[in-house]
Amino acid sequence: MSETMVLEGKVVLVTGGAGALGKAIALALARQGARVVVNDPGVTLSGEAQSGSAAQQVVDEIVAAGGEALADTGSIADAAAATSLVESALKTYGRLDAVVNTAGILRDAIFHKLSADDFDAVLKVHLYGTFYVSRAAAAHFRDQGGGSFVHMTSTAGLIGSIGQANYAAAKMGIVGLSRSIAMDMQRFGVRSNCIAPHAFGRMIESVPGLTPQAQEAYLEKRRNSTRADQVAPLVVFLCSDAATEVTGQIFGARGNEIYLYSQPRPVRTLHRGEGWEAESLAQTLLPAFRSSFTPLERTKDVFGWEAV
């Protein structure tokens, strides 16, 4: 365990805590003194059940290193299971100080082939699951007079991705949810922030639009340059008392880089005293705004430098 443990005495709940990113975060939280509730139903990236308890394996690793942890295998896509998860943390440890929402699945498809079921399944885990767990913890945080939410968003939504309309919609929904939580609960000392991680893990292993050879080359590079353990310190910081003034923000973590995302604000304005018609807009809006339009870039177009 670390000599200086910034989360000593705190209890932190991590959803998706057995995935590559969630596990790295859970282990980092434990090393910093937190008692960790590891939630993971133990399913594949596409949602199929797996044998054994992946959550318990992470708990065993934490305990072996001298920490305290609790396993939970409920599905956060179910409101009752999410509520039970929070209640279990409170019953076992008597408190809850932070919630880290990392759980997720993928159902990638080009938009005109995206089924309603696959759209719904992804939103259920990512967006609804984040809401269910956060809502269950919110009342406790209010009564306690403080708490921290850390939610995982994605550049798939913030910037753009091909074949992931469901995932992008869910991740942008989480941004709006986090901002609203931050504003609604600021008076109670409760914080809410997002992280868009560039970290090798299950969410990266499915890359739409690449040949098997190109995908393997891409994955090999990502394994070495964007690791889950490089995201974990930012999560620890946001869960700690050192981040009490930080709320409503969107961070990125990529290799050894940490950055802050801008959030939507007007960039150009047009005013016409007599109002607008479609014809006058066509004549005026395009030449005035064209140079300020956001191009249809993908994440790789925006991050043109290598992560180190």
User: Which sequence positions are flagged as catalytic?
Assistant: 167
Q: In the 3-class helix/strand/coil scheme, how is the chain assigned residue by residue?
A: CCCCCCCCCCEEEEECCCCHHHHHHHHHHHHCCCEEEEECCCECCCCCECCCCHHHHHHHHHHHCCCCEEEECCCCCCHHHHHHHHHHHHHHHCCCCEEEECCCCCCCECHHHCCHHHHHHHHHHHHHHHHHHHHHHHHHHHHHCCEEEEEECCHHHHCCCCCEHHHHHHHHHHHHHHHHHHHHHHHHCEEEEEEEEECCCHHHHCCCCCCHHHHHHHHHHHHHHCCHHHCHHHHHHHHCHHHCCCCCCEEEEECCEEEECCCCCCCCCCCCCCCCCHHHHHHHHHHHHHHHCCCCCCHHHHCCCCCC
Q: 232 and 27 in contact (C-beta within 8 Å)?
A: yes
